[in-house]
A and B are shown apart, each in its own frame.
Chain A
Amino acid sequence: DTAVSQTPKYLVTQMGNDKSIKCEQNLGHDTMYWYKQDSKKFLKIMFSYNNKELIINETVPNRFSPKSPDKAHLNLHINSLELGDSAVYFCATSHGTDNQPQHFGDGTRLSIL
């Protein structure tokens, strides 16, 4: 069983569309994250949720809205997609305490035409 699974793996869509990326974890972790990796491989945190509550929001445009229906899921909805949103988006989870490593999904490659 995959510990952190993201769907879809690839997403190709047009500018202006609305899309969602889903993340599910079976590790029993309390904290889930979304990261964005740009074309130069630079990784930056976008959001983190702890027990379904938002705890980090890193100056992300409000077109991006995370939703955590339960502790095992953190979905990312993006409205009005722009060219600059093209990137690989990674979901990650952790126990949520200091020093604990984060476990990453395989990423969703979003391409905006």
Chain B
Amino acid sequence: GDSVTQMEGPVTLSEEAFLTINCTYTATGYPSLFWYVQYPGEGLQLLLKATKADDKGSNKGFEATYRKETTSFHLEKGSVQVSDSAVYFCALDHQGGSEKLVFGKGTKLTVNP
């Protein structure tokens, strides 16, 4: 079945450091890909998405590019802030009408001042 694998956390960075969180997927067909963020005590919020190969999703300084050849959707940010501390989830949208999101296990990011 479909699956998402993302790098194990936790990740701890200093403010203004470069962030990469790796995400790879296995899926039949051509799924849409998402990054969701969960701040402490809150639900998940959509961070960015990409719906087809070579699409780049971006939001709040975060970017991820849909790479079909490597089945990857790595999340990057050039300069992280303390307020970016959260858990980040990579997800794919199972195609074919079931609208089911399959999530990776989440990566906890802590940014220190």
Within 8 Å CB of A55, what residues of B? 98-99
Task: Tell whether, in the assembled complex, residue B43 and residue A106 are in contact, meaning their CB atoms are under 8 Å apart.
Answer: yes
Task: Tell whether, in the assembled complex, residue B101 and residue A102 are in contact, meaning their CB atoms are under 8 Å apart.
Answer: yes
How far apart are the CA atoms of A108 and B112 in the complex, in Å?
Answer: 29
How far apart are the CA atoms of A41 and B38 in the complex, in Å?
Answer: 10
Is residue A107 within 8 Å, beta carbon to beta carbon, of the partner chain?
Answer: yes
Interface of B, helix, strand, loop or mixed by DSSP: strand
User: Assuming A104-B45, A106-B43, A107-B43, is B106 touching A41 (CB within 8 A)?
Assistant: yes
* Interface residue tally for chain B (C-beta within 8 Å): 26
Give B contacts to A, CB under 8 Å. Answer: 32, 34, 36, 38, 41-46, 49, 51, 87, 89, 93, 95, 97-103, 105-106, 108
Give A contacts to B, CB under 8 Å. Answer: 4, 31, 33, 40-45, 48, 50, 55-56, 90, 92, 94, 96-107
Closest 8 CB pairs of A and B: A104-B43, A101-B46, A43-B103, A41-B106, A104-B44, A106-B43, A99-B32, A99-B51
